[in-house]
Amino acid sequence: MGATAAGLAGVAASALGPAARAEAATGATSGRLGRRFAGKVVLITGATSGIGEATARAFAREGAKVGFCGRREALGRQVEKEIRKAGGTATYIRADVRVADQVKAFVDRVAALYGRLDIAFNNAGIGVAKPPHLISVEEWDDVHHTNARGVFLAIKYEVPHMLRTGGGVIICTSSAATEVTRSTQAAYASSKRAVQGIVKASALAYGGSGIRVNAILPGVTDTAFTRPPGIPDAAWEEFKKAFGPLNIDGLQRMAEPREIADAVLGLASDEFAYMTGASVPVDGGLTAGREMDLPPGTPASGL
């Protein structure tokens, strides 16, 4: 399911910090671009950092022409510059996925710029971590407008371009939080569950026209979405070492953004030509379950 070695090296560096990002941007880790998605046009929402950024880099390294959006213009221009410097093709366009006119303009511009639309990764998302009674109505609406309405709008405007060219692939970011949530994730988890409903309905609506639609459910991933602001690098690395074994019984670590990107590239490839309407966990075993903590002295049993 993963990208080629060249793609892996490039997106791995993008997740590690300034020095590694510079190495990835210059292509020093691989020396050449891959061609897995040569000739394909890829659109990504929410790609100025994190999973979206890693996926934009991975598709570009594999030969795709990438159009991506986000609200943070300085970051978007930097990602665009680094991808181009590495020999890839990418264009950043500022757009807010909550605003219908901006989403349509973004999708139409990418299709016009590169001549078609083959693959879309609808990834933009936000969250608020509060118990339900402390979430303001404005916060609730903002999370749902970004995460669920944003996916709906993207698909609404992507599909006509794919219908004109005989098909395509759409992948949407849901979350493992839809399966194993927490008391502070009412807004986030419900919005991401809505994404899965949109994906299933869209898969049924457009499968006969050659458009596959699937969702990925990332687990805890080392991005700015997860990392508290202002925490020093050394302290964050120590936190991650402790966090994994305590919270993720499977692989016992957080994901790197490149690992989620690998899953997206896999689902976008012809290797998964018969998969549609699926929600695929990429979570290190987070949703597989938890080992039980039994009281000391409990006799051996089938628990």
Q: Residue 268 above 80 pLDDT?
A: yes
Confidence (pLDDT) at 293: 79
Better-scored residue on pLDDT, 25 or 296 = 296
Any residues with CB less than 8 A from the CB of 82 and at least 6 apart, and which?
Answer: 21, 24, 25, 57
CB 216 within 8 A of CB 173: yes
Q: Amino acid letter at 22?
A: A
pTM over 0.75: yes
Structure tokens that stand for 116 in this block: 């078609």
Any residues with CB less than 8 A from the CB of 28 and at least 6 apart, and which?
Answer: none
Measured in whole angstroms, how far is the alpha carbon of residue 301 from the centre of its chain? 41
Buried/exposed 131-148: b ≥16 CB within 10 Å, e otherwise: eeeebeeeebebbbbbbb
Active site residue 188: yes
Residue 300 pLDDT class (50, 70, 90 cuts): low
Q: Residue 162 above 80 pLDDT?
A: yes
Confidence (pLDDT) at 190: 98
* Catalytic-labelled residue, pool 114, 188, 206, 274: 188
Q: Residue 169 above 60 pLDDT?
A: yes
Closest CA to 127 of 111, 106, 112, 148: 148
Residue 217 pLDDT class (50, 70, 90 cuts): very high
Where would I find the beta strands (DSSP E) of 25-167?
41-45, 65-70, 89-94, 119-122
Residue percentage of the chain with pLDDT more than 90: 82
Kindly state the DSSP code that residue 273 receives in the 8-state scheme.
T
Question: pLDDT tens for residues 11-62?
Answer: 333 333 433 343 343 333 333 467 999 999 999 999 999 999 999 999 999 9
Return the residue matching tokens 């991933």.
Answer: 221
Confidence (pLDDT) at 195: 98
Q: d(Cα 76, Cα 48) in Å, to the nearest integer? A: 5
Question: pLDDT tens for residues 88-108?
Answer: 999 999 999 999 999 999 999
